[in-house]
Amino acid sequence: MDTLNIALPKGRLGEKAYAMLKACGYDCPALEDPGRRLIFENPEKGVRYFWVKPSDVAIYVERGAADLGIVGKDILLEYEPDVYELLDLKMGKCRMAVAGKKNFRDPVGQTLKVATKFPNITRNFYNTKCRDIDIIHLNGSIELAPILGLSHVIVDIVETGTTLRENDLEVYEEIVPISARLIANTSSYQFKDQAILAIQERLARQVEETR
């Protein structure tokens, strides 16, 4: 049996993803008592898991260091990696949105200053609207930008809306709904097809059952 290398995103999304995989029979006891190790294998189930930064999952899968990965749709839209998107896991749901100060009005005629961790998604969105923008690429705490006058608006992930609310900001426009996806390396999908299809089918069934 082929061993599948699976990249999990560190954090809440990865933990939920592992819970789904475990429920499908792909458990790995070593991963449940991790210590500081990063790789965990269950040879009986043919799986080897490793934790990586959420934004790095697609890189591991694209380059074949992982056969499969769990990644947010935001990362796929931002980096456009050459991978197969096999399944919408319908969890880790949030949305990509434009947000600004309450009562924000677009300063028509001026270049719109947009702070974001997602320059590609931002560029694509405003290109479709033919809106002239200046992207300010930040790495975190994006909500600060409009408050301090660094930008007019932000493009960011909104999950519960708490961060926006607590900083007197609000959603101005929705861009796209986001959820976690199962992705595969394109060669692994050919050469480890049976193992990958088995996991894909079991996860798909589980997604349907928990709807």
By the criterion CB under 6 A, which residues form the site for ligand PRP?
140-143, 156-163
* Residue 2 DSSP one-character state: P
* Least gap, CB of 86 to ligand PRP (angstroms): 25
* Least gap, CB of 58 to ligand PRP (angstroms): 17
CA distance readout (Å), 119 to 9, 54, 144, 199: 21, 17, 17, 33
Which residues have a Cβ under 8 Å from the Cβ of 110 and sit 6 or more positions away? none
- Separation of alpha carbons 116 and 114, rounded Å: 6
* Least gap, CB of 163 to ligand PRP (angstroms): 3
Which CB atom, from 7 or from 13, has the smaller least distance to ligand PRP? 13
Which CB atom, from 141 or from 190, has the smaller least distance to ligand PRP? 141
**β-bridge pairing 169-178 and 94-101:** antiparallel
Q: Which two tokens stand for residue 13?
A: 């999304």
* Residue 26 DSSP one-character state: -
* Least gap, CB of 139 to ligand PRP (angstroms): 7
Which CB atom, from 75 or from 112, has the smaller least distance to ligand PRP? 75
- Separation of alpha carbons 58 and 70, rounded Å: 8
Which CB atom, from 103 or from 162, has the smaller least distance to ligand PRP? 162
Which CB atom, from 96 or from 182, has the smaller least distance to ligand PRP? 96
Which CB atom, from 61 or from 158, has the smaller least distance to ligand PRP? 158
* Least gap, CB of 147 to ligand PRP (angstroms): 13
* Least gap, CB of 206 to ligand PRP (angstroms): 25
Is the Cβ–Cβ distance between 26 and 45 less than 8 Å?
Answer: yes
Is the alpha carbon torsion for 22, 26, 30, 35 positive or negative?
Answer: negative
Is the Cβ–Cβ distance between 146 and 98 less than 8 Å?
Answer: no
